[in-house]
Structure 1
Amino acid sequence: MHLAEHYNKLYNDSISKIANGNYEIDRLIDSDADNRFGVTLVIRPDAATNHNIQQFLAKAKAIEPDQYYYQNADIHVTLMSIISCYDGFDIEDINAQDYIKLIQQVLAKHKSFKIQFKGLTASPSCILIQEFLTNTLNEIRDELRKTFKNSDLQQSIDKRYNIQTAHATVIRFKSELTDQTALINLIEKYREFDFGTFEVKQIELVYNDWYQREKFVKKLHTFSLELN
């Protein structure tokens, strides 16, 4: 399925559920008992793009103040989930340097590339910024899959799902919506909004919780890409 078609189907299916009250509430966001951690390669948007995202989030928050909104430090694109978050995983369970060396072998072959955040899509539990993949991003993912498959390192790449998009989650539902009609109308206004284009110069390897919250994230390494 073409990526635009994938986003549209996801959006239409999810918005219909949200409008009908069939959305999903995440009960673990505020839970102290949530011990799901993992290791992820992430890309961070630049300041200008984050600013545009926060302008949208401020309007959404005015409608639905009790939902979970991502701060700038938490907004990210998942390049690859190396070890998907699971209950009880600890960074001491692995040798991070082994992962850094393996990933460096892949990233050393690639130069910086650009990402555009344009438009919104949705799932039954959250609102996401769309990104349309570059060839470089796909190539890096494919090479990481092959490299880790041929290693003995603990990993769970594609175990949950085969990552094909580069969206950024910005809102999660953590309580009952009070005015989903107004929220949906706002989302519709931003459906094709251009949030910005930025050059990916660095990629971070992080130890993270499920929501990539800054207070829990531990940066393991920053990989610098050669500039084009």
Structure 2
Amino acid sequence: MNLKEHYDRLYADSIEKIKNDYYSIDNLIDSSSDNRFGITVLIRPSVDIKNKIQDFLDELKKNNPNQYYYPNSDIHVTVLSIISCHDGFDLKTISIPEYQKIIQKSIEDIKDLEIHFEGITASNSAIMIQGFMSNDSLNQLRNNLRINFKNSGLQQSIDSRYAIQTAHSTVMRFREKIIDKESLLITLEEYRTFDFDKFKVENIELVYNDWYQRYHFAQQLHSFVLK
């Protein structure tokens, strides 16, 4: 996949939908009855990068404070959703050490994993930071996890929604009608190619999480150190 072309197409299509009020509002963000949980392997960007993202979000908040903005604690890149979030998932039904073993095996040959956050893109329901890989390490890690989990017999639902191939980070979701669409579109265009910087990935996490990866619902199950 050519990531730049993918992000460009996504941005162009989504901006048109937003302009024409075809964006999607997430009605479950504030729901107390949302019981969708799962487990995920993820990466967290550096603090410096997350602070730059907050500067961008502060600009969006000025005229559209009613949307859902990710705090630093929740900003992440999904490596792979091992068990996709669904109603009724109970952590007690799986053996966490067995999952740890598979992940540890999968990272043994992974080196020099680096992600460059440059520019923003959008979907019809969210705003995302564009992530680019400097080599094939992230794809290799994902393929290792896919193969090893599918051969393990452990409960998993990898790629059940779609096969993830990007390195983006979702940072804002539409929770209500956009108050000031013109301001939103101007800010998005201003940050379209903004360089948020790059970071070398030193560890990955296995987490128990809700749909939005909110810190107060998430539980880190294990942290793995990369070489």
Identity of matched residues, %: 54
Deviation at 1:113, TM superposition (A): 2.0
Q: Deviations over 1:17-43 (max 9, x none)?
A: 001111000000000000000000010
Structure 1 residue ranges, 4+ long, deviating more than 2 angstroms after superposition? none
Whether 1:46 aligns to 2:46 is yes
TM-score normalised by structure 2 residue count: 0.98
State the match for 1:98 in structure 2. Answer: 98
Deviation at 1:111, TM superposition (A): 2.5
Amino acid at match of 2:182: T
- Partners of 1:153 and 1:71 in 2: CA distance: 33
State the match for 2:188 in structure 1. Answer: 187
- Partners of 2:57 and 2:93 in 1: CA distance: 37
Amino acid at match of 1:68: Y
Deviation at 1:143, TM superposition (A): 1.1
Amino acid at match of 2:22: N
Most deviating of 105-114 and 25-34:
105-114
State the match for 1:126 in structure 2. Answer: 126
Structure 2 portions without partners, runs of 5+ = none
- Partners of 1:75 and 1:112 in 2: CA distance: 21
Task: Give aligned pairs, total.
Answer: 226
Amino acid at match of 2:55: Q
TM-score normalised by structure 1 residue count: 0.97
- Partners of 1:215 and 1:85 in 2: CA distance: 16
Whether 1:222 aligns to 2:223 is yes
Deviation at 1:220, TM superposition (A): 0.3
- Partners of 2:125 and 2:40 in 1: CA distance: 21
Whether 1:109 aligns to 2:109 is yes
State the match for 1:137 in structure 2. Answer: 138
RMSD of equivalent CA atoms: 0.8
Amino acid at match of 2:104: Q
- Partners of 1:187 and 1:152 in 2: CA distance: 44
- Partners of 1:128 and 1:75 in 2: CA distance: 10
